[in-house]
Structure 1
Amino acid sequence: MATIYEVSALAGVSLSSVSRVLNDHEHVSEKTKKKVMAAMAELEYRPNSVARSLASSRSDSIGVLVSELHGPFFGDMLSSIELALRNAGKHAVITAGHSDEESEKEGLDFLIDRNCDALILLVDAMSDDDLITLSRKKIPFVILNRNIPEIRGNCFYLDNELGGYLAAKHLIECGHKDIAYISGPLSKQDSTERFTGHKKALIEAKIPFNKALFYEGDYLTQSGRDGINDFIKNKVLFTAVACANDEMASGAMRGARDNNIDIPSDCSIIGFDNAYFTEYLFPQLSTINNPIKAMAKMSTQWILKNVYKQKDLDIKNLFSPELIKRESVVKVLAGIKK
């Protein structure tokens, strides 16, 4: 296989000139370009990423560090990032930190050592201070699903508090007052914000918050099921359940059926995220749309604009949730659901 050095020798130009041609650099004469292209054709040379980076000091790779890999939320996010980067001629290098501080820092070091041009981070365990310190270093990065005021311009995030509010408000407007809540881990920013929004809607409707109707889950399906079982074990009355994500909502639906609770006749359930499977549950799950695909794509546009200097890219940092009404929530009139 021919090398860039052989192309340089045959074309009679410097190695850096070959690299500039490979990177389509604007400061390359047409004469030099023709020589290099002719030599490449004669040698059947196929440029690799190392050769392309000689002049640009770019690897054309973006490091992506996420807290987890499982579940539709992360699948949608990663597929959106990979597609947007591939369409721009870039590649994603992906690793997971598993919501553990040491593992997230190891993943960060791994990506930096791989000479990634920029980083996309969705991390839970690393502190705000760690990320603010990282912002003072040379490597560009963006943060998904988290808002740190000191570096807000690098953050792409949902108004989670509004999302939690919209979910609870919908249940309240349907006549529910005994509303259970299954949260995600309260150590995570998005989870605490959704819970804050939920309580805000209760306060607005003058419905007292009942601690017995609260269960802290872990965003996984089983914890939704466990939450329902916990409410039933404690013999607490509820006519509706708001869940902090759709996976827990699907688990809650299973837990309800395990206890002969019909959905939505006996209990309304609403989720959060609008994962692809929500339309295939029975009944179809009411939920809050979380535009993670658009958010993930926007993070790549920030990189394309600020790292690769692509023009005419508008950047939006804050995204809004949207209520998706389906069949799992029904109205209550005079204590009877309709």
Structure 2
Amino acid sequence: MATIYEVSKAAGVSLATVSRVMNGNARVSDRTRDKVLKAMDELGYKPNSIAQSLASNRSNSVGLLVSALHGSFFGNMMSTVEDVLRNAGKHVIITAGHSDEQQEKDAIEFLLDRRCDALILHAEAVSDEYLLELSKRDVEVVLINRRIEEMAEHCFYTDNELGGYLATKAAIDAGHTSIAYISGPLFKQDATERLQGHKRALSEAGIKFNPQLMVEGGFHEDEGAQGYLDLVAVNQPFTALVCANDEMASGAMTAAREQGVLIPEQLSVVGFDDVLFARYLYPKLTTIDNPIQKMGNEAAHWVLEHVYKQKKTSAHTNLFAPKLVVRDSLMEIK
């Protein structure tokens, strides 16, 4: 088996230069890097990851915390982060926090124990204070879909209040005045902000917020279905239903259809996230584009630049603006 010394000799560079190439150090010219990589390939040299870690004090792994491992929303985020980092020669260790404070803390400690060089966190239950203390440790911390003022440059997030506003305003602009709402769990920052946006849109239109036309869900299909049934049981008629994510919207649509309600002829529905299945529902779901893949992409590139010192390719975007995606589930009242 070839050794690093043989790679150094074949490439005509020092051992230190070979080490810098293996560790993705930006202080190596493209020409020199190509020479080293060519020598490694010709000699069949395979770097020992443990030796690399000891030599560079880097594990070349990044920890990724998500709320859940199922669903296209988190799937899109995980695949984007993993793709960017793997293309840079880094590995991703993924764990789930299940939106529970203790489970999130346990998951973060698990990642720290694996000597991850950085943490990318979609953390919903732990406090800002906990995350601020975590950011003071000797590991870089990046947040997705959450903003903390004191570490704003490390946060990549959507304007959820604006998204909630746009979702409800779309229903209002279509002529609806009796609008029900299924929120996400209100201990979560994004769910609270989306509800605030919903209320702002109603207020601007002169529509009084009716607490009887709002139920709190949990961002899952079955809670959307149950939320719809709970709203109907109140016996307060509504012609439009805004849901704080697409999964709950799909559950609500199924429950409505099972009761013989025509969508959108008798009930218009608006979701949030624009996950893959939204365009394949029947009718196709009007929703809010929540660019989770772009957030994941920015977070991963931030880690490559700030932790692994790779060249910065462009300015980072921390705040992403949501956009209305109009499809068939929203009908204008004439």
Partner of 1:317: 318
CA 143–35 in structure 1, closer or farther in 2 if over 3 Å, else same: closer
Is the partner of 1:142 in helix, strand or coil?
strand
- Deviation, 1:16, is 6.6
1:159 equivalent in alignment to 2:159: yes
Matched residues in 2 for 1:165 and 1:250: separation? 20
Q: 2:147: which partner in 1?
A: 147
Q: Aligned equivalents of 1:175 and 1:216: distance in 2?
A: 25
Aligned to 2:89: 89
C-alpha spacing 1:327/1:3, structure 2 compared with 1 (3 Å): same
Supply the distance in 1 between the matched residues of 2:164 and 2:74 (Cα, whole angstroms): 20
C-alpha deviations, 1:181-214, integer Å up to 9, x for none? 0000000000000000000000001101111100
With over 3 angstroms needed to count, the CA separation of the structure-2 counterparts of 1:258 and 1:2, relative to structure 1, is same
Aligned match of 1:326 = 327
Matches within 5 A, 1:55-134: 55-134=55-134
- Whether the 8 Å CA contact 2:7–2:39 is kept in 1: the answer is no
Partner of 1:336: none
User: Structure 1 residues 204 and 51, CA, compared in 2 at 3 Å: closer, same or farther?
Assistant: same
In the TM superposition, residue 311 of structure 1 has moved relative to its aligned partner by: 2.6
Q: Which residue of 2 is the match for residue 49 of structure 1?
A: 49
Cα pair distance change 1:39/1:194, threshold 3 Å = closer
Q: CA 1:311–1:27 in structure 2 vs 1: closer, same or farther (change >3 Å)?
A: closer
Aligned-pair identity in percent equals 53
- Cα distance between partner residues in 2 of 1:45 and 1:87: 19
2 CA distance for matches of 1:302 and 1:2? Answer: 34
Aligned partner of 1:131: which letter? L
> Is the contact made by 2:76 and 2:292 (CA closer than 8 Å) also made in structure 1?
yes
The secondary structure found in structure 2 opposite 1:332 is: coil
| CA separation of 1:17 and 1:283: change in aligned 2, threshold 3 A | closer
Matches within 5 A, 1:18-33: 19-20=19-20, 22-23=22-23
Return the alpha-carbon distance in structure 2 between the equivalents of residues 52 and 147 of structure 1. 34
TM-superposed CA distance for 1:235, in Å, is 1.3
Q: Which amino acid aligns with 1:306?
A: H
Give the drift of 1:38: 7.5
Q: Distance in 2 between matches of 1:228 and 1:170?
A: 20
Alpha carbons 2:60, 2:90 under 8 Å: kept: yes
The number of residue pairs the alignment matches comes to 329
TM superposition outliers: structure 1 runs of 4+ over 4 Å: 1-8, 13-18, 24-28, 33-42
Amino acid aligned to 2:168: A
TM-score relative to the length of structure 1: 0.89
When normalised by structure 2's length, the TM-score is: 0.90
Note the residue ranges of structure 1 that are not aligned, 5 or more in a row: 334-338
Partner Cα distance (1:27, 1:329) in 2 = 55
Q: How does 1:191-202 map to 2 (within 5 A)?
A: 191-202=191-202
CA deviation map 1:68-127 (0-9, x unaligned): 111111011101111111122211110111111111111111111111111100011110
Please name the residue that 1:184 is paired with: 184
Which range is displaced more, 79-88 or 177-186?
A: 79-88
Larger Rg: 1
* Alignment partners' CA distance in 2, 1:120 and 1:18: 29
8 Å contact 2:283–2:328 — kept in the other structure?
yes
Distance 2:183 2:53 in 1: 46
- Amino acid of the residue matched to residue 263 of structure 2? I
| Aligned-residue RMSD, C-alpha | 2.9
Are 1:214 and 2:248 matched, yes or no? no
Q: Which has the higher contact order (CA 8 A, sep 6+)?
A: 2
Do the aligned residues in 1 keep the contact of 2:120 with 2:299 (CA within 8 Å)?
yes
